[in-house]
Structure formats: C-alpha cells, structure tokens
Structure 1
Amino acid sequence: MHDTLPAAILVATDMSPRGDRALARAVDLAAAFGARLAVLHVVDEDLPASLRAALIPQAERLLAEQVAALPAAAEVAWTVTVMAGVDVAAIVEQAEQRGAGLVVLGMHREHPFRGIVFGTTAERVMRSGHCPVLVAKGAYRGPYRHILAAVDDSRAAGRALAAAARCWPQATVQAVHVDDVPAPLDGLAGTAFAAEPRPAWPAHLAPALADVEAATGRRPALLVQPGDDVADALRALADRFAADLVAVGSAAGNRPMRALLGGTAERILDLAPCDVLVVPPG
C-alpha cells in the first residue's frame, strides 16, 4: 500500500453502528482508489446450525441493502460474504484470498476486553497477510484532510508515512517524532498543521523521509515532540491539529508501535480521537 494504491479492500463489519462507520469509509476508499471491495460479516460458528442457517441469508440481504444505499457504492465493484467462523481467522483468510491491500475495521469500544480482542485481530491480519489495517473510530465525514504520522528510524514508520501521503494526496500530512530529548515545537501556535517543514530532518529519520519522498515526490513537515509517552503525545497533537487520521508503523521494536499487543499500540488505538492507520513492516 505504501508503493501503490490498494487494488482490493476488505471491510469486516459486525453490523453495529461501529461497523457502519467502517463500511461507509471502506466504500468511499474503494471508489476513490478504484479498488474492488469485499464486505465481510462473520456469524459465530458456535451457534446452533439451524440458527446459523437462518442468520446467514438474512445478514447477506441486509448488508447488500446497506452497501447499495451508500452514495459511492454505484462506483464500486463490491461483494458481500457472510460466513460462519471465528472472526479473527475469517478476516485473515478472506484478506489473503481476495488479495486485499487494506483491511478496514470498526473500533469495538463496548467490548469489556476490546484492547485484547481488537489487538489480536489487527495483529493476526498484519502478521498473516502483511496488510495495513484502517480502524474507523469516528463517523464518516468525507476524505481525510489532516493526517498525523508517527515516525522513528524504522522502515515501518516510513511505510506508514508514505502510505498516508500517497493514498490521501489532498490531505496535509504532519510527521511527528516523539523524542525524550526536549526540542522546539514548530507550528504549535494554532490549530492548523505546520505550513513549513523543519530546516533538516534528524539523520536517524532518513529512512522514513526517503520512503515518503520516493512515494510522493515531496517532503512533509516534521514536528519533534519531547516526551516518552507516544500514545499520549499523539492524542494531544491529534486534538490540537484537528487530525482526522493517525498513521503508525507496526514493526516489533518500533517505538510508536513496539508490538501490536503491547500497551503502546492498544493505547494509541484507544486514545486517538480519530481514525488510525496501522501499516506493517512489509
């Protein structure tokens, strides 16, 4: 996804309002990217067979009606699949079978173990399919306009930054490096993104910069945020910049996302006031 736009997108929905947000976002992205769209709903395989048999065709009909009612659906080649299984395994399987370059999921805020469940889902999708995951947390309000991308010295962070810049060229992309060493904060005076980049990126951020310049032909603004809590820093900056998307890399050992089941990643997903794009190392 960091090199090209995804040719296929998989959106998994539980048919709740949270799933509806993911569905609306996925349809819009498929139309914008010219991508095929696979809509997936998983029925619990532990339900009695007679109940599964009744639920599957009903869910297929309702989902098809819901997709068709979305304005951008007429521009998209889409399919609906309802299957019995375990949601994590089914998402991974369907993403691989359909060659998905992006998986879109809703945020399961009401689940008492949402961090564990959601983290496991996203981790297995990326580990098994090397596929970026977009978490639709808020109501759909059109294309992304302000993107905050966490960068460090890893290639995964560069891939996330490049993917965000390539997929949403109309958006302003602000690169952020959270550093333990205090540094001046450029562009924090107002609510808009910094208009100009820092004079020079630190040398250890060269891989991330090379990735985004190769993908987009331009250099994003860089802001160095002092601190040691990445999730909290991103939350505060996303609020200040009115960001509608936070993009992060997911490599093990990557400072913004040390491990998808680790506390930092779960806290980013939980604390971010907007959608979150998680890009694996490749």
Structure 2
Amino acid sequence: MTQWQGVAEFVAVAETGSFTAAAARLAVSVAQVSRQISALENRLGAKLFFRSTRKVVMTENGGVYYQHCRSLMDGLDEAERAILDLQTTPRGKIKMTAPTTFGEESVMPLVNDFLLLYPELELHCDLSNQLDDLVTQGYDVAIRIGNLSDSAMMARKLAARTRFVCAAPEYLDRYGIPHSLAELEQHNCLVGASDFWRFEEGGKSRNVRVSGRIHCNSGYALVDAALKGLGVIQLPDYYVQAYLDEGRLISLLDHYREPEEGIWALFPHNRHLSPKIKLLVDFLARGFGASGAV
C-alpha cells in the first residue's frame, strides 16, 4: 500500500459530501470508494468521516488531513499541466494586473506585442492602483512598483523608475528655483493622489507635505499643467523624461531625489509558473531592458 492510496477517494468524498457523488466523480463504484476510505482510516489510525444514512461529515482529523491532501492534489495537477504546457503551443488564459497609468503607458503595449506572437492566448488584465490580494483574486502575474512587502509572493525585477521634481522654464523664470525642501512651501505644487512628496535627506527617507492650486489624480493632466507654467510637479520618469530631455521641463532638487524604485513581476508562491507566464515575463523584461531569469 502506498501513501497515495485512498487520497483521491478521500478528497472526492470531502468535496462532494457523499460516497455516491465521489464515486461518480472518479468513475468507480461506491464500494471501491468505501473500501479505500476504510483502508486509509485504518492506516492512519484516525476516523476521517462521520457517516450516517443521510450525510457524510468530516471529523476534525479529516479536516486537517483534507487541507494537506488538497495541496498535494493541486501540486499533482500543476505538475501535469506543466508537462502538457511544455509540449504544446502557449494557449489559454492569462490573468494579470498592473498599475493604471504605468499599465496603459508601458505594460500593455508590450503585452499586446506578446499576444501577436501567440494567437491562442487570451488575456484578462485589470489596470488598477488597488493592491488586491493577488492569490485570492486568482492572478497569474502582477506588475507592481516600489518596495515589496507581500511575503506570499515571488518577485522578479523587470526594471526601475525614478521620480523627478520639475517645472517649466517659464515658471522658474517667474517664481525662482527652489534649492531646499523648505522652499517648496513658497511654490505652487501640483498635487496628485497624495499631498506628500517623497525625498531622501541625509540618507533617510522624508515625506514633505505640499500644496497648490491644482489637485488631480491624473499624471498626464499634471504634466500638461506644468508644461503650461502652472507649477511644480513630482512624477515618475515615464511621465516626464521626454520633456526633460527636450528642455521643456527642468529637474529640481536633484540632491534630495530618492533612489530609483523597482518595477516587479509578482507570482503567488503556491501557483505553478507555467511556460506561458514565464514567456510573458521574459518578454516584458526584454522590453523594459532588464535581464535575469525567473
């Protein structure tokens, strides 16, 4: 007798609540299911179900055993899917999420290029700044920016971003250039989702409260306002780098700039990284100019 004997029957009964339904699921006889469960209970020396003529209920021991057996069955299913994936063209659904603006500007154009290469793939993508529970929401991969704190996830760094404080030359000619964090109080700061801007001073992170005439949760709207000389902004490089290169915006307070933030691909620890997900992440990494293996 092996340790696997009776496990499939036990899980089927636990999930269906019936020996008859479990037998139908497994395409075996009810007597076969009953024999396997009895043999399993004898081997474990513990009762796994309370049985009556009307229903079957797991014991406390059965509940504990089920949690472990379900994980084993899931792992076996994942292993079989992994082998099948290796032998076939990438197909099926990919469920992913990414921050709204960065997703629109940088992630989705690359993902769309990826889908052109693999026409049998189907994408479900949520662009959102909400930090959903990636495991319970069933995401295969999530793109996140900044410091990571979720120990339930594996991560691969794809690239990095830098936040710039900047303003148009016309604004600076009129109101002057701030040289210290305290001088930001004298300027019209164009505020996004948060009225705190992040800096590094003396090797330590520092948040500075700012205020101004415009509050808007759109980075593009704030860039437009800054380009028109309405104030000072703090935004990631993918909003402003082109305008900095052209001289239409001037970078400010560079010696207080925080170190660059990581751009990450996250995966649940308990979910098999299938070849199609690895292909996608590798493609994104190349697109962002990163390197390394999952």
TM-score by length of 1: 0.24
State the structure with more CA Rg. Answer: 2
TM-score by length of 2: 0.23
